[in-house]
């Protein structure tokens, strides 16, 4: 039976000194709103509301869906609150800024800076028809993003959900990392019967297994998979399936005419199924991103172009495509 979705707070609802303007996104773990404070300053507010544990049917208060879920819900609530406290201490231009966090309606809210721009996912969609995201942009975005991720790791946090949809490109071109998954991962660590909250294709193989294997190298897999998507237009094969039969083709076979071999090789290092074969720190990746890559192999341009067109013709249509 499908898990029922939660009812979001209505437009105009007063949440402490914030007025809800509209729903921005809703997932299985939380709901995000655009709101304005008393000075009409726009903010994004994330509400802890896991569909598998709690439900808001009428009114504004949140209630656990069963007596046995009360303890799990409260444990996740504590993790979410602690995550907000930790993020509020991190002041970095490439990490979403947490302005406030508070309890209300039997749950917890995290108030964040509202960023203007578009996601890297949107950038990929716009550029895929024009032969992929430019290498200079990839190097610049991820080098700067890794400055923020390094700060996260220094604070003993992991992101655990790095993907193009969680990388925001501001109007000035600077990237910012959104939507940390550490609280929901802590929840699933303590209570394995809950559905893990990871994104297939961007999640490292160790996220499907014992959580004591997680580390900075886990986020590095997400970074590599996100760079992969910038080039291929889609995520690599899900890592749990790759452990059984790895079907991920070497990028240089299809895109060696447009991207330097150094960048393509770095991406494959980052998405290694074996965690020990990945770069173990973001500094290693940053150093590689700073180095000037060799010119792409233009001789293979025609062959690669034919291969790509054949892939586009033969790949299954995704929902919404005609």
- Domain end, chosen from 66, 81, 113, is at 113
Q: Does any domain span residue 73?
A: yes
- Domain end, chosen from 66, 84, 113, is at 113
Tokens of 64: 């656990």
The answer to whether residues 70 and 192 belong to one domain is no
Q: Does any domain span residue 57?
A: yes
Contact 95, 87 (CB under 8 A): yes
Q: Is the pLDDT reported for residue 217 higher than 90?
A: yes
**112 vs 3: CA distance, rounded Å:** 28
Which pLDDT score is estimated for 174? Answer: 96
Better pLDDT: 3 or 84: 84
Q: Is the pLDDT reported for residue 292 higher than 80?
A: no
The answer to whether residues 284 and 192 belong to one domain is yes
- The mean per-residue pLDDT over the stretch 7-12 comes to 92
The answer to whether residues 33 and 171 belong to one domain is no
Q: Does any domain span residue 4?
A: no
The answer to whether residues 104 and 138 belong to one domain is no
Q: Does any domain span residue 136?
A: yes
Among 50, 46, 61, residue whose Cα is nearest residue 111 = 46
The answer to whether residues 160 and 87 belong to one domain is no
Q: Does any domain span residue 44?
A: yes
Contact 236, 273 (CB under 8 A): no
Among 97, 180, 179, 94, residue whose Cα is nearest residue 140 = 94
The answer to whether residues 48 and 93 belong to one domain is yes
- Domain end, chosen from 78, 113, 148, is at 113
**86 vs 83: CA distance, rounded Å:** 5
The answer to whether residues 87 and 146 belong to one domain is no
Report CA torsion sign: 281, 282, 287, 293: positive
The answer to whether residues 187 and 122 belong to one domain is yes
Helix, strand, coil % over all residues of the chain, rounded to 5:
40, 15, 40
144 lies in which domain range? 117-312
Q: Give the range among 38-42, 46-50, 106-110, 183-187 with minimum mean pLDDT.
A: 183-187
Q: Give the range among 78-82, 87-91, 209-213, 226-230 with minimum mean pLDDT.
A: 209-213
Please report, in angstroms and rounded to a whole number, the separation of the first and last CA atoms in the chain.
Answer: 30
**164 vs 122: CA distance, rounded Å:** 8
**266 vs 244: CA distance, rounded Å:** 23
Which pLDDT score is estimated for 294? Answer: 79
Which pLDDT score is estimated for 192? Answer: 46
The answer to whether residues 144 and 68 belong to one domain is no
Q: Does any domain span residue 322?
A: no
Dump pLDDT digits (tens) for 131-172.
789 999 999 999 999 999 999 898 888 888 899 999 999 999
- The mean per-residue pLDDT over the stretch 270-288 comes to 96
Q: Does any domain span residue 8?
A: no
- The mean per-residue pLDDT over the stretch 42-46 comes to 96
Q: Does any domain span residue 288?
A: yes
Q: Give the range among 36-45, 78-87, 195-204, 292-301 with minimum mean pLDDT.
A: 292-301
The answer to whether residues 49 and 80 belong to one domain is yes
Among 199, 197, 215, 208, residue whose Cα is nearest residue 167 = 199
- The mean per-residue pLDDT over the stretch 199-207 comes to 93
The answer to whether residues 165 and 299 belong to one domain is yes
Highest mean pLDDT among 12-21, 86-95, 202-211, 305-314: 12-21
CA 197, chain centre distance (Å):
11
DSSP annotation of 291 reads S
* CB atoms closer than 10 angstroms to residue 256: 20
The answer to whether residues 38 and 80 belong to one domain is yes
Dump pLDDT digits (tens) for 61-107.
888 888 888 888 888 888 888 778 888 888 999 999 999 999 999 89
- The mean per-residue pLDDT over the stretch 168-186 comes to 78
Which pLDDT score is estimated for 308? Answer: 57
Alpha helices in 25-133 (DSSP H): 69-89, 120-128
How many structural domains compose the chain?
2
Strands laid side by side in the 14-15 sheet: 14-15, 18-26, 30-36, 42-48, 107-113, 98-104
Q: Is the pLDDT reported for residue 319 higher than 80?
A: no
DSSP annotation of 66 reads S
CATH classification of the domain holding 63: 3.30.200.20
CATH classification of the domain holding 140: 1.10.510.10
Better pLDDT: 75 or 14: 14
Mean pLDDT of the chain: 85
Which pLDDT score is estimated for 42? Answer: 97
Which pLDDT score is estimated for 205? Answer: 95
């Amino acid at each position: 039976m499908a898990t029922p979705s939660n009812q979001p707070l209505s437009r105009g609802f007063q949440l402490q000194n914030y007025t809800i303007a509209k729903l921005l996104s809703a997932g299985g773990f939380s709901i995000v709103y655009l709101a304005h404070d008393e000075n009409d300053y726009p903010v994004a507010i994330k509400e802890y509301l896991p569909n598998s544990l709690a439900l808001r049917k009428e009114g504004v208060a949140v209630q656990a869906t069963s007596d046995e879920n009360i303890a799990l819900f409260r444990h996740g609530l504590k993790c979410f609150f602690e995550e907000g406290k930790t993020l509020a201490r991190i002041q970095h231009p490439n990490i979403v800024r947490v302005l406030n966090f508070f309890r209300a309606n039997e749950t917890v809210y995290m108030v964040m800076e509202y960023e203007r721009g578009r996601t890297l996912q949107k950038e990929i969609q716009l550029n895929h028809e024009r032969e992929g995201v430019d290498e200079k942009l990839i190097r610049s975005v991820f080098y700067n993003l890794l400055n923020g991720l390094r700060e996260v790791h220094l604070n003993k946090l992991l992101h655990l959900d790095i993907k193009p949809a969680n990388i925001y490109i501001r109007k000035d071109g600077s990237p910012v990392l959104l939507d940390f998954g550490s609280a929901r991962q802590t929840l699933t660590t303590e209570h394995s019967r809950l559905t893990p909250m990871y994104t297939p294709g961007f999640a490292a193989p160790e996220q499907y297994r014992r959580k004591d294997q997680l580390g900075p190298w886990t986020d590095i897999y997400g970074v590599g998979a996100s760079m992969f998507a910038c080039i291929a237009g889609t995520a690599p094969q899900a890592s749990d399936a790759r452990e059984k039969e790895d079907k991920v083709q070497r990028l240089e076979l299809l895109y060696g005419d447009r991207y330097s071999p150094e960048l393509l090789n770095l991406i494959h290092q980052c998405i290694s199924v074996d965690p020990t074969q990945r770069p173990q720190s973001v500094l290693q990746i940053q150093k590689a991103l700073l180095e000037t890559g060799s010119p792409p192999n233009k001789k293979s341009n025609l062959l690669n172009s034919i291969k790509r067109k054949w892939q586009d013709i033969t790949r299954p249509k995704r929902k919404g495509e005609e």
